[in-house]
A and B are shown apart, each in its own frame.
Chain A
Amino acid sequence: MLNLYDYIFYFFAIVILGSSFVVVFSRNIVHSAFALLFTFFGVAGFYVLLSADFLAITQLLVYVGGILVLLLFGVMLTNNIVNVEIKSGTMQTLPASLIAALIAGLLCGIFYVSNWYLVPTTPELLNNTTAVAIGYAFITTWILPFEVASVVLLVAMIGAVIIARREKAPEVE
């Protein structure tokens, strides 16, 4: 007997599956980018089902609002949209499919036979919103990774500027 929760799960599953196939196999790069939008939305939906509400919002902000926009900028800057058709081909399809089938088979096989060590059989979902607990954890237990993550962002910013800016006149020392 399926309840509403299950219907929502299958709905998101179909959205993600369909859109991820479009991302990988579409010949048009803009279609891929827009399909990625639906994948990100679907994954955010799963986060809500798994009671990670704050993460679902973050997923939308970071992936849809940030990464996807960046990707679209990348598409526009690297394709001369007016003149060139935005198409891109594939290569080495057979070996790649074999490798991926191997990975998928291995993972699925192991997930199928695993008896969940240390995992309770009844899911213990959190009832309250997670934002408060996450915020508290960030500035106590997880403070070091939190601060170090700021270094990641800083270095990414510096790096992106260095690599992408236009050449200026050589400096005289």
Chain B
Amino acid sequence: MIPTFQDYLNVAPIIIVSATALLEIVFQIIFKGFKKYVNIFSILGLLISIYFAIINFDKVSMSFSNMVFSGKYASFFEILFCIIGILTILQSSTIQKYYSINKIEYNVLILISIVGMMVMSAGADLISIFIGLEIMSICFYVLAGFARNQIIANEASLKYFLLGAFATGFLLYGIALIYGTVGTTNIIKIAQHYPIALSLDLHLLGLILLLIGLAFKVALVPFHMWQPDVYEGAITNVSGLMASGGKTAAFASFLLIFSIPLAAGNNNLIEIVSVLAALSMIVGNIFGLVQQNIKRMLAYSSIAHTGYILVGIIATNNFGNHGALFYLVVYSITSVGAFGVASILENEFGKNLNINDYSGLSQKNKFLAFAMSVFMFSLIGIPPFAGFVGKYYLFAAAIQRDLTWLVILGVLTSIVSLYYYLRLIVYMYFRDPENQNNIIVTNDFKIAISFSTIVVILFGIYPSSLFSVIRYIFNIY
């Protein structure tokens, strides 16, 4: 079918973000002083994209011969990725001064990685999901090594690249086997072959290989080895983008692909995914205990949270799906904020990232200390903050689905995680400062962090505001 104008209108948010990135490359050559305005230009592009996503919000349809979804589910994630992008760019304004980063290329790569995330989370065909995933991954390989005169960044980039490409091999083999059993790569057409297709070993093996490929991208244990290293080696704000946007996009496509086979009740698949979730919760939280570097600590915390989100997805009931989406939103905003605070304190590449460097932060800068403690409380899941509501929904869903052992494990590991999150808060509030680094907080950064803090508190007090939206959109097919 030849695409119509309506098709292009349906994917307008994606087109606008790509166009912004392309225009930045062109404007760099045409206008000499463009460098100063590039951040504003990117944010403007993302805001226009949000506007179009809101316009499309009510119209659910499939465009380009059933290649992508638009409306509701897709729009929801488009808006979320744009917000993450805006926050990341605002927070990067400080860091760009420190290591003479080429601002324009940095912005272009962030914008194109957002295009990849959008394509991934809107994909109605395995090909769209695959290409979106690759756009995002290639941007991340480059962004991880962006501080290219630092050996640590080169190593992070190489590790991420080799393991990412290795995982792509598994992902593709999985897609090939799925295609071989049902003769199509369209998610909806594949779903029409269930549950017969699920009884085929070959199809199941295809799904498992696809699962391994995605598990590498979201860093589920035992496919998590790259994550702490990459988060440590990458520029801190980029780590924040990977932890929030990268994971959310991978989970969005995970839900699209796996919600039907999991709901169809194939026990082998459910068992495998449950074991991955359980291992992620255990390993993430236990290794988190011994980390001294804040970025590595947040990386292990991120692995643990992938496990929690997966618990909700395994449950495959309304509670679980809504909870998983709610938690993805909250976790994204929280981790962008937490990595943002870390980036402000790190005023030279790789310095001031130790937990000790956070001692007495409340005496040096009350605002940062308050924001960081809000994020930590939300990650623990303490009642007035949004993390609690999310965890409650995820665990309630798992109990409904008779996965009590996962819930017990989740609660126990949450208690373990109390130690390392609270340790940071104790250092910030009850210790005297060890060094007198001056902390420069720009206005851009203040706006971004205030926004994240307010969102985390607001969704904790009024979770129904977000849940009503999620309930409305949760109508994937």
Which chain A residues have a beta carbon within 8 Å of chain B's beta carbons? 106-107, 110-111, 113-114, 117-119, 140-145, 148-149, 151-152, 154-156, 158-159, 162-163, 167, 170-171, 173
Contact = CB atoms under 8 A, between A and B. Distances in A.
Interface residues of B, number: 49
Interface string B150-181: 00000001000000000000000000000011
A37 to B, nearest CB: 20
Contact of B149 (A117, A145, A148, A167): A167
A148 B132 contact: yes
Nearest to B142: A159
Interface string B347-375: 00000000000000000000000000000
26 contacts: A111-B202, A114-B202, A117-B203, A119-B180, A140-B1, A142-B65, A142-B127, A144-B64, A145-B67, A145-B127, A145-B128, A151-B18, A151-B135, A154-B22, A154-B112, A155-B109, A155-B139, A158-B105, A158-B108, A159-B109, A159-B139, A159-B141, A162-B105, A167-B148, A171-B100, A171-B102
Among B105, B135, B145, B203, residue most surrounded by chain A Cβ atoms (within 10 Å): B135
Interface in B196-215: 196-197, 200-203, 205
B195 interface: no
A152 B138 contact: yes
Contacts of A162: 102, 105, 109, 142, 146, 148
Contact of B128 (A141, A148, A158, A170): A148
Interface in B1-43: 1-3, 11, 18, 22, 25, 35
A110 B205 contact: yes
Contacts of B139: 155, 159
A-B residue pairs, 6 tightest by C-beta: A159-B142, A144-B64, A141-B65, A144-B67, A170-B100, A155-B112
Contacts of A144: 3, 11, 63-64, 67-68, 128
Contacts of A152: 131, 134-135, 138
Contacts, number: 96
Contacts of B135: 148, 151-152, 155
B182 interface: yes
A126 to B, nearest CB: 16
Contacts of A107: 205
A115 B18 CA distance: 45
Contacts of B201: 110, 113-114
A151 B149 CA distance: 27
B234 to A, nearest CB: 13
A163 B145 contact: yes
B128 A173 contact: no
Contact of A143 (B3, B138, B202): B3
Among A155, A163, A173, residue most surrounded by chain B Cβ atoms (within 10 Å): A155
Among A114, A117, A167, A170, residue most surrounded by chain B Cβ atoms (within 10 Å): A117
